[in-house]
Every structure is written in structure tokens, then in C-alpha cells.
């Protein structure tokens, strides 16, 4: 397999998903439909980037168990160059997911082997030869630090998706980040944690009420060249050092499952960076299309759209 343009360092989780008409109340049992399949933020993002046309590699850790055993064949089928480290004393990461009839979801994750991925497990040559390196928070954060240090030494673009929010996040890593991509909840948490809001406490509800200029001003306090806040059905907000734009998502007829939509955006955006020569606004449009298509089908990794599905939407926006 040739050199990978997008390298994702992150977590794999086996998704155990129950679809039900309404979430159970405490002590209540409800009927549902069960499916299982590949997931995990890092792995999902690798799926999305690869299907969106980027030569992609995934670096992660799995357990020596029945969830981890099939993964090499799975990544090979998707055309993803995989670098999986087996951690025998840890289970493969897993996630219990509830999805209601409106596509809303609740998730419990056990990071398992993901949290045992070590800094030395990150292949230096693979990262150094990439064009984009992507990390999240579903793995040992020391591995993120190592990946970004290698990337910065070699002029590789770094993308951090700070999800899920973690108390042990060391904000000093932001000095190595070119593009940070939180959702509304994660953005509000980071703003509050880092004391960026002069008026005192800051919440997601307060963020929603901000005007675009005020939101841009908050984004600039991160001292990261590009801040992209994903806004669910409202698309995303892109803030660079010189300008800002709110970009809408695509219209879809029916939302089936929003699980993995954020990962679809990150993967699609990363593929867009390669396709559009680093243009973050065009790449964000690409990410919005990828995420919008992903919510029309169930699952996380399996819901990621193929490039052939994305391209008609790109053409409609003059980006073919």
C-alpha cells in the first residue's frame, strides 16, 4: 500500500447498539433491536477519510479477544493501512449505545486497550510522511502528544478532535495543533476550563446565544490557527486567524442515526484537506456533506458515505 495522506491515531470500539422507540426510564425495561459493528472515534474517522477518497492509515490498540481478531481483515477490505498493537491484558474497546426513534443517542464507552496505546506505539515514519494527522481523546493522550510532535517536526498538518471531554487533558498540546474541532459541548467545556470567557462561567447554552463575531473572538483565544465548532444539524463554524464563516449542512429527508456524525465530519474534512490543498473552508463543506449523508443510515463506521455519494453534492456547490 502506498504512502498514506491521512493518518488517524485513535481508538477502536466494538459498537453494541440497541434501537428503541424511547429510552428506558430508571428501573424500566423496553423492547429494542440489537446490532453490533465497528466503531470508535479514531476508527470511524479513518473509515470516513478512506471512503471519502484519501489514502488513509489507522494506528490503534486492540485486545487479544474476539472483538479484536477480525479487525485486520476489516481494515484491508476498506483499503485502510492498519497499525494495530495487541494489548493482551486489556479488552478491545467497546461501546454500549442506545438510539431512539428520533435518532438521538446515549453512549457508555470502555476504552479498554485504547487507553494502553503508548507513545512508542506510534510509527514515526508513517506520521512523518503523511499530509494530515488526526487525533481524538479515546486513547492514551501520550500517544497524541507523540503523533503531533512527529508531525510538527515534519511539516504535517495536525487535527485534534477533543472528544470526549477529559479531565486529564493537557492544554499545552494546543501549541502543536493546527486545527481543533470540538462540538458545541466540547467547545463550551474548553472555554470554561481555560478561562477564556471574561463574563464568568460559560455553558453550551450561552455559546448558542453568541453572535458570529463574538464566537469568532472566543475561538481566537485558543491560539490555534483554525478552530472549527461542529453544530450538528446547523453545520459548522470555521474561525481562522483572518476570517470566519458559518457553513450549513446539507438537507436530508430522514435522520436515522446521529451516532458517528461528528466522526464523519472529521474524516471527511481531513480527506478534503488533501483534495483541496489545505483550504479549510472547502474542506469544511466536504465534512458537512459527509456528516449529513452519514445520519441517513444506521451505525457508525458502516454509515460513512462513499466518495461517489459525496461528489454530486460537491458539484452542486461548485467544488467538484
Q: Is the pLDDT of residue 209 over 90?
A: no
- Mean pLDDT (the chain) is 94
Q: What percent of the chain has pLDDT over 70?
A: 99
Q: How many CA atoms lie within 13 A of 214 on its CB side?
A: 10
The predicted structure's pLDDT at residue 197? 81
Residues annotated catalytic, as ranges: 263
Q: Domains in the chain and their CATH numbers?
A: 12-23+32-316 (3.40.1190.20)
Pairing state between β 179-180 and 226-230: parallel
Helix axes 71-78, 41-51, angle to 10 degrees: 30
Give me the mean pLDDT over the 193-199 stretch.
81
Give me the mean pLDDT over the 221-249 stretch.
95
Annotated binding site for K(+): 257, 259, 294, 297, 299, 303
Strand partners, 230: 183, 236
The predicted structure's pLDDT at residue 199? 63
Annotated binding site for substrate: 13-15, 40-44, 138, 263
- The residue among 93 and 208 whose pLDDT is bigger is 93
Give me the mean pLDDT over the 121-144 stretch.
97
Annotated binding site for ATP: 183, 230-235, 262-263, 288
Look-up: residue for cell 426513534? Answer: 101
The predicted structure's pLDDT at residue 2? 64
d(CA 257, CA 271): 23
Give me the mean pLDDT over the 265-270 stretch.
98
The predicted structure's pLDDT at residue 299? 82
Amino acid at each position: 500500500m502506498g504512502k498514506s495522506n491521512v493518518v488517524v491515531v485513535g481508538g477502536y470500539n466494538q459498537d453494541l447498539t440497541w434501537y428503541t422507540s424511547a429510552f428506558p426510564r430508571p428501573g424500566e425495561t423496553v423492547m429494542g433491536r440489537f446490532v453490533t459493528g465497528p466503531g470508535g472515534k479514531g476508527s470511524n474517522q479513518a473509515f470516513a477519510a478512506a471512503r471519502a477518497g484519501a489514502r488513509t492509515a489507522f494506528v490503534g490498540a486492540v485486545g487479544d479477544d474476539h472483538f479484536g481478531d477480525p479487525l485486520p481483515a476489516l481494515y484491508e477490505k476498506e483499503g485502510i493501512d492498519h497499525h494495530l498493537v495487541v494489548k493482551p491484558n486489556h479488552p478491545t474497546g467497546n461501546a454500549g449505545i442506545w438510539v431512539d426513534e428520533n435518532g438521538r443517542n446515549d453512549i457508555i464507552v470502555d476504552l479498554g486497550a485504547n487507553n494502553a496505546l503508548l507513545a512508542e506505539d506510534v510509527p514515526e515514519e508513517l506520521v512523518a510522511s503523511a499530509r494530515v494527522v488526526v487525533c481524538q481523546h479515546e486513547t492514551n493522550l501520550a500517544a497524541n502528544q507523540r503523533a503531533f510532535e512527529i508531525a510538527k517536526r515534519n511539516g504535517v498538518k495536525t487535527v485534534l478532535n477533543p472528544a470526549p471531554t477529559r479531565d486529564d487533558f493537557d492544554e499545552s498540546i494546543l501549541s502543536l495543533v493546527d486545527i481543533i474541532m470540538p462540538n458545541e459541548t466540547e467547545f463550551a467545556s474548553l472555554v470554561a476550563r481555560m478561562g477564556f470567557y471574561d463574563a464568568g462561567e460559560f455553558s453550551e447554552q450561552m455559546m448558542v446565544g453568541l453572535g458570529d463575531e463574538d464566537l469568532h473572538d472566543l475561538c481566537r483565544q485558543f491560539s490555534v490557527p483554525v478552530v472549527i465548532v461542529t453544530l450538528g444539524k446547523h453545520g459548522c463554524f470555521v474561525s481562522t486567524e483572518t476570517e470566519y464563516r458559518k457553513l450549513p449542512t446539507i438537507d436530508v429527508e430522514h435522520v436515522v442515526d446521529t451516532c458517528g456524525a461528528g466522526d464523519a465530519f472529521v474524516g471527511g474534512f481531513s480527506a478534503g484537506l488533501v483534495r483541496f490543498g489545505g483550504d479549510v473552508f472547502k474542506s469544511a463543506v466536504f465534512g458537512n456533506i459527509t456528516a449529513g449523508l452519514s445520519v441517513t443510515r444506521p451505525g457508525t463506521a458502516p454509515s460513512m458515505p462513499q466518495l461517489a455519494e459525496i461528489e454530486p453534492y460537491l458539484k452542486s456547490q461548485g467544488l467538484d
